[in-house]
Chains A and B, each alone.
Chain A
Amino acid sequence: MKVYVPRDAAARALGSDAVAAAFVAAGHRVIRNGSRGMVWLEPLVEIEEDGLRRAYGAVTPADVPGILSGAVESLGPVEDIPFFARQTRLTFARCGLIDPLDLSDYEAHGGLAGLRRALALGPEGIVAEVKASGLRGRGGAGFPTGVKWDTVARAQADRKYIVCNADEGDSGTFADRMIMEGDPFSVIEGMVIAGIAVGATKGFVYIRSEYPDAIDVMTHAVEISRKNKLLGRILQSSHEFDIELRVGAGAYVCGEETSLLNSLEGKRGVVRAKPPLPALEGFMGRPTVVNNVLSLATVPVIFERGAAHYAGFGLGRSRGTMPVQIAGNVARGGLFETAFGMPLGDLVHDIAGGTASGRPVKAVQVGGPLGAYFAPAKFDTPFGYEEFDGQGGLIGHAGVVVFDDSADMRAMARFAMEFCAIESCGKCTPCRIGAVRGVETIDRIAAGDAGAVPLLVDLCETMKHGSLCALGGFTPYPVMSALEQFPEEFGGLREAAA
């Protein structure tokens, strides 16, 4: 009998350590797996007997004797739970299934098959395969990963770098954290393949300090990889690659790639003007691939199953799958990996079951603190890069935060500006000053000054077009989407009519 109790941070935050301890006290060896992504059921315990894994949801230490004696009813296999059964798991295929730090378990579930195929294809073949997969940057910008790799591969330099952006600061997102805690070797394998493709021998993983569990798992995974030739001389080939972990220091803006590079170099995390592109002058002025955790973690499965298989999923120019993270006031929150194209409303209502409070959904914010609010009138928008852009929003890192009808949209708009002011790197004026003025202007509106509404609109235009990076440039998305869809909450309008 095998007992699986997740070591994922969300499971631990809901008490999984005490549950694991209770199984150990009862004389069982416990495997600390990653999360299966059904956060509302965490701690989700699985018991494997005779090749069958049965799940138990929201387990407390008091449930443990009943689970062992059979008195507690199982939810059945995880794969049969509707939330899970409706997913297409490619990037997250192993997350929660395997022991995250058991490399042989990883290999038994398809791990390293992609790397072996990539080694056989060689650098040019790897870049061509990534291009053919249609993979786009999962951090939010959606830039074609293969094109970025091609640029770095063609650049001439004495050293090149792979940087994994694990500074997942967007509220409502936790996919990077989950994959690092649940399947860290997939991130490492993806970085190794990237290194072979572009001729880089050194990689950095920049993990935010708010993720101590991910830092811990990744640290162990890198050590295990070195011992087993997944790092160093790669699988006895002629390629060399090593990885160093770096920890952020609480600056949201360091998720922006040029700011992250400055931070890695030991500087203030201010944004750099582009060009030069990091692909040509990145870390220490050398050609650098900067990819999000999910982009890199998706690379192995593309090589394992082939670019055509991956590109066979999706909608329009959004190919493959996206691990959507459903969060906030939601009945069934968690990670739902699905092919691009599912309408937003299906995710919110059918998959996630609406709000946890049972009240009507008022709006969802998609894409983190820089993402637009979508009222139910826009719930038919299919999940895809261009589709969301067409609705004045962005999918970003695919976080979906649900709010019920008690949400104060003016307060949310104010918070967006306040957050931008707190986290602005200070390099460009529209962001540094604009965000502060934005808070003041919304406060004027709250005090009944109707004339401040056009001022807010004008300010948002300036920030959107005049900022150097997405922090100042996209903060207008939540603000303007709240203002446009909920004008009555920016109460100056009523004052003006009176």
Chain B
Amino acid sequence: MPSTAAPHGTPEDPVIARIIADHLGVEGPLLPILHAVQAALGHIPAAAHGPIAEALNITRAELHGVISFYHDFRDRPAGRHVVRICRSEACQAVGGVALSQAVLDKLGLDWHGTTPDGRVTVEPVYCLGLCACGPAAMVDGALKGRATPEDVLAGLEA
């Protein structure tokens, strides 16, 4: 268990402080803050917990409860590339299971896994709204319809 004392001097501190300050006037600011922290830092570092909890007058336990509830929030950085493959029914109807299996096998991963070299993380997603052109995937934010393993794996070498 890392120290629960308010951390000082981590490089993320000014970024976190600025994000909190930017959102304090918002009604229900926690999710916008968490999204902004993750967008800036790639994950929600432990260093952010103390300042956020203090600013919003909630306990660290409550904050942890919120962060861990939502699939999107990460407590550690993802791989350099993030592949999200739809597991939902409409994509299953057109070979979604085979697509995800081929990609996972090729990378030697299970769902949520990251390659040992930190290159690729593969995550399931439950619907990208591309249900009439599945199977669907999102590779580093770019959507792919009627995706093949080759489409998904292209450009992940570096």
Contacts and interface: CB of A to CB of B under 8 A. Distances in A.
Nearest to B58: A266
Interface stretch (B10-18, B29-37, B75-83, B113-121): B29-37
Interface in B50-92: 56, 65-66, 69-73, 87-92
Interface in A349-380: 356, 365, 369
Nearest to B29: A266
A334 B11 CA distance: 48
Contact of B132 (A10, A248, A422): A10
Interface stretch (A89-97, A169-177, A295-303, A454-462): A169-177
Nearest to B93: A328
B93 A403 contact: yes
Contacts of B144: 13
Contacts of A403: 93
Given A169-B127, A401-B131, A249 B90 contact: no
Contacts of B88: 171-172, 369, 419
Contacts of A209: 35, 72
Contacts of B132: 10, 39-40, 174, 325-328, 330, 333-334
Contacts of A266: 28-31, 56, 66
A248 B66 CA distance: 12
Contact of B94 (A9, A356, A425): A356
B129 A246 contact: no
Interface residues of A, number: 62
B89 A268 contact: no
A318 B29 CA distance: 39
Interface string B120-141: 0000011111111110101001
A39 B133 contact: yes
Contact of A401 (B32, B93, B129, B130): B93
Given A10-B133, A356-B94, A365-B89, A210 B128 contact: yes
A111 B158 CA distance: 48
A269 B69 contact: yes
A106 interface: no
A423 interface: yes
Given A13-B144, A251-B70, A412 B129 contact: no
A234 to B, nearest CB: 21
Given A13-B143, A171-B88, A284 B130 contact: no
Contact of A174 (B73, B87, B129): B129
A329 B89 CA distance: 10
A251 B94 contact: no
A177 B149 CA distance: 26
A249 B72 contact: yes
Given A9-B130, A251-B69, A407 B146 contact: no
Contacts of A172: 88-90, 131
Nearest to A174: B129
Contacts of A292: none
A250 B70 contact: yes
Nearest to A332: B132
Contact of A251 (B71, B93, B125, B145): B71
23 contacts: A13-B144, A40-B133, A170-B127, A172-B89, A172-B90, A173-B129, A174-B131, A209-B35, A250-B70, A266-B28, A266-B66, A268-B66, A268-B69, A269-B70, A284-B28, A325-B131, A325-B132, A330-B132, A333-B133, A369-B88, A401-B89, A401-B131, A402-B93
Q: Across the A-B interface, give the 4 residue pairs with the lowest CB-CB distance, nearest first.
A: A266-B30, A333-B132, A171-B88, A327-B131
Given A209-B72, A412-B89, 7 more contacts: A10-B132, A10-B145, A174-B129, A210-B138, A211-B128, A266-B56, A328-B134
Interface of B: 26-32, 34-35, 56, 65-66, 69-73, 87-94, 125-134, 136, 138, 141, 143-146
